[in-house]
Structure 1
Amino acid sequence: QDYIPDENILKLLEKVISSFNTSPYPLLEKEREFLGVGLPLGNLTSQLFVNIYMNKFDQFMKHKLKMKYCIRYADDFVILSEDKKELENLIELIRNFLKNELKLELHPNKISIETFSSGVDFLGMVNFPKHKILRTKTKRRMFKKISKKREELKDKIISQESFNQSLQSYLGVLKHCEGRKIEWKIIQKNFA
């Protein structure tokens, strides 16, 4: 209601949210604390909800902190600046805003200040001024998932078509970065 003034849209969104089943298993005490909190993940409306909710953050970054280069996707964001001290000072301001205004917390292991020359790690890729590469952890996860799919194919848990669709999805990701060597490795392992 704080974010959407239109009653008809609110009623529609309420129907969408309430259409999600909750787990039939009893909740732990910590889980009960968050009952009714969060977004229905997996539903296309999740992207809409996160953007509506995080709009307050976007406005804070743009108008209050006057940040020119803040890039956000869902709840992941990167701030670009040539001034390291400015970035260091922003951390506490952002932490307080997220906690007090949106009831969110910065993940302590995901806060880092890097130079442009070492690349900007964002959404599974390390971005440089003129190119991007797949993050090492993302690459490892990709190969692990492909191996699992290959085993499922071998054990006839999935079809060849399903396996090929998964491979095409990973190969599609690689088109968005310098992934030719990885692409070649996947093709050799799975089609040779």
Structure 2
Amino acid sequence: MPLRIQSMNSKKLLNDLFQAYYDARRNKRNTISALKFEVDYEKKLFELYEEIRNGNYQPGESVCFISFYPVQREVFAADFRDRIVHHLIYNYISPLFERQFTPHLLGRRNTFSPKRANGSNGKYCPKGAGFINDAYSCREGKGTSYGIKRIDHFIRSCSRNYKKDCYILKLDIKGYFMSMDRFILYDKIEKTLPKISGGDVDFDIGLILYLIRKVIFHDPTKHCRVKGKKSDWQGLPASKSLFCAKPNQGLPIGNLTSQLFGNVYLNDFDHFIKYNLRIKYYGRYVDDMVLVHQDKEYLRFIIPKLKKYLRENIDLELHPNKVYLQHFSKGVNFLGVIIKPYRVYIRNRIKGNFYKKIKAWNNYLKEKENKLSKEEARKFLSCVNSYLGLMKHYKTRKIRRKMLAKNLSVYFWNYFYIAENYSKLVLRG
């Protein structure tokens, strides 16, 4: 039975689907699945449009593999056709969560109060609100560099430019993506979308909820092509594999929607921390959370509150070995850097991974008799510039210069040149 497209006409849906296609191919244009789709892409988009309109859309086969950088993890890469649907969903609902920021209810007073922590002194946790400013992942204008700057700012502000004592509570959720309950996630989205939209949208929420259901409740482990060796999975904890997840739990790492839904799943928790527990200095990237406060005992006091909220509301638990509470002078490990007073360091793991990547590319170039195709050159450029892009924000010029000038094979300079003071490589024309 065809879906009833109420708030949007068919032409708008088709136009939005084309825009989602352009967004999906932006960084995937040279992949095999993207190139296959690009052949007669207009016809394929019309077919996808008809499937969506008639309620016949079904997600396709994913490719499952293990990525070892920066850490070992299991990735499910959706078919390019499904990536278009993911971008369509993202383009519709992400702006709704972005435009509904909750008013800043925190005053100057930020002291220990068990009564306040129990939430008995007022309603500070507005369910159905949009994302807080300091949720950094998968959001335009934010990301890792923004998150690092914000946490650095929090520490400086809370310590009055390092003159007063303050403390940092660092938390991590155990097996986050593999532990998300799909029913809880969908229920959150279904209840929140009408609230944050206020009826002021130019698309049919029912249609988008239909697509969201298809994506959330699709189990990629039932229909996937495994790439790599079985030995690649050795050493990967069961809590980090969809193949070991409980029924109706877990989202595939690698999908745009998984990143977006990851923010939605913890959104009420973010508001609980900010407005029930009144933690002014709080930031989160995926499931890595940092809380900064002048009172060490208050931070210690709220840890059980956080555990209880996660367990009772969204069926998650804090990683027992990744709860750190320490003075700001000792620094905090966040998003690949160590944030300390007056300085930010790149972690040795980042430098080590960069070196391993360069070494692997040197060996690859040697096997190819020092010749690269255009696609291989673009892959190399993307890989190296991702590291340089992170490192350039910190005092790493000597490290970057050494990596490029001393460790990189000289044959790469036939294809690239260094620009902006060792902060990026550029493909020769």
**Offset at 1:191?**
5.6
Describe the SS at the equivalent of 2:289.
strand
2:390 maps to 173
Question: Bigger relative contact order, structure 1 or 2, given CA contacts below 8 A and separation 6+?
Answer: 2
1: CA distance, partners of 2:316 / 2:396: 34
2: CA distance, partners of 1:153 / 1:108: 43
**1:14 equivalent in alignment to 2:205:** no
Deviates more, 1:5-14 or 1:117-126: 5-14
2:187 maps to 2
CA contact (8 A) 1:117 1:128 kept: yes
CA contact (8 A) 1:95 1:106 kept: yes
CA contact (8 A) 2:282 2:292 kept: yes
1: CA distance, partners of 2:273 / 2:319: 18
CA contact (8 A) 2:281 2:293 kept: yes
Describe the SS at the equivalent of 1:67.
coil
Structure 2 CA distance for partners of 1:138 and 1:87, relative to 1, 3 Å: farther
Match of 1:105 among 317, 320, 326: 317
**Offset at 1:87?**
1.7
Q: TM-score, normalised by structure 1?
A: 0.83
Match of 2:283 among 61, 71, 75: 71
Match of 1:117 among 325, 329, 334: 329
1:163 maps to 380
Query: For residues 61-95 of structure 1, what are the alpha-carbon distances to aligned partners after superposition, in whole Å with 9 as ceiling and x for unaligned?
Result: 02221111110111111001122222222222212
CA contact (8 A) 2:310 2:316 kept: yes
Give structure 1 stretches of 5+ with no counterpart. Answer: none
**Offset at 1:35?**
3.1
CA contact (8 A) 2:344 2:394 kept: yes
2: CA distance, partners of 1:169 / 1:32: 31
Give structure 2 stretches of 5+ with no counterpart. Answer: 1-185, 195-205, 227-237, 411-429
Structure showing greater Rg: 2
The RMSD of aligned alpha carbons is: 2.7
2: CA distance, partners of 1:123 / 1:142: 15
1: CA distance, partners of 2:378 / 2:213: 37
Query: For residues 87-128 of structure 1, what are the alpha-carbon distances to aligned partners after superposition, in whole Å with 9 as ceiling and x for unaligned?
Result: 222222212222222222212222112322222211111123
CA contact (8 A) 1:17 1:40 kept: no
Query: Which amino acid is 1:78 matched to?
Result: V
CA contact (8 A) 2:361 2:380 kept: yes
Describe the SS at the equivalent of 1:113.
strand
2: CA distance, partners of 1:2 / 1:168: 40
2: CA distance, partners of 1:98 / 1:116: 26
Query: For residues 9-35 of structure 1, what are the alpha-carbon distances to aligned partners after superposition, in whole Å with 9 as ceiling and x for unaligned?
Result: 32121233456632468xx9x945523
1:52 maps to 264
2: CA distance, partners of 1:113 / 1:101: 24
2:408 maps to 190
Query: Which amino acid is 1:56 matched to?
Result: D
Identify the structure with the greater helix proportion.
1
**Offset at 1:133?**
1.6
Superposed, 1:85-104 pairs within 5 Å as 85-104=297-316
- Percent identity at matched positions? 39
1: CA distance, partners of 2:384 / 2:338: 22
CA contact (8 A) 2:220 2:252 kept: no
Aligned residues: 189
2:104 maps to none
Query: Which amino acid is 1:182 matched to?
Result: I
**Offset at 1:130?**
4.1
Describe the SS at the equivalent of 1:63.
helix
